[in-house]
Amino acid sequence: MSWTTRNGSNAGATTPVAAWHDRVVLSSDLILGNADDRVVANIAHDGAVPVGGSYTVTTNVTLPPDASGNWNLYLVTDPFNVVYEFQYEGNNASTNQPITIRFARSHPDGGDGVRGGQPGRGGFGFLERAEHRGRPCLRGLV
């Protein structure tokens, strides 16, 4: 996944510290910060950001094995609040990004399942592809 964090043009100064984290959160509802939230990654950032400056992170995130389903994905910067932001502490979370997580299943004959989402067709469909005795086969269209 990829995101951009910005020190807004209305900020008073370059960030007073150079190290903080960006946090990736899955929430089953539209409320960030309540009990259903699941923190899936805290990504360390290194480098002060000037007024109006930004940085973009692109990284892989490992999802918990029981995370399949419908979620709202959030990005929260400075979750441990090590960056003093005067009166602007309240704008550190992204809007929700709806996401459906489905994990590939293993083929009954031992092959590895592969899925590809097809958004916009009544939800995500998938094809599970596998090798069956050396020949490709297709299983399970949802």
Site string for Ca ion, 96-115 (x = CB under 5 A): --------------------
Identify which of 29, 9, 27, 34 has the alpha carbon closest to the alpha carbon of residue 91: 9
Which lies closer to Ca ion via its Cβ, residue 51 or residue 138? Answer: 51
Q: Which of 4, 8, 29, 112 binds Ca ion (CB under 5 A)?
A: 29
d(CA 14, CA 17): 8
Q: Residues 68, 26: contact at Cβ < 8 Å?
A: no
> Minimum distance between the CB of residue 19 and Ca ion, rounded to whole angstroms?
13
Q: How far apart are the first and last CA of the chain?
A: 25
> Minimum distance between the CB of residue 133 and Ca ion, rounded to whole angstroms?
46
> Minimum distance between the CB of residue 101 and Ca ion, rounded to whole angstroms?
16
Structure tokens at 21: 């984290």
Chain centre distance of CA 81: 20
| Binding stretches for Ca ion (CB under 5 A) | 27, 29, 31, 34, 36-37, 78, 81, 83, 85, 89
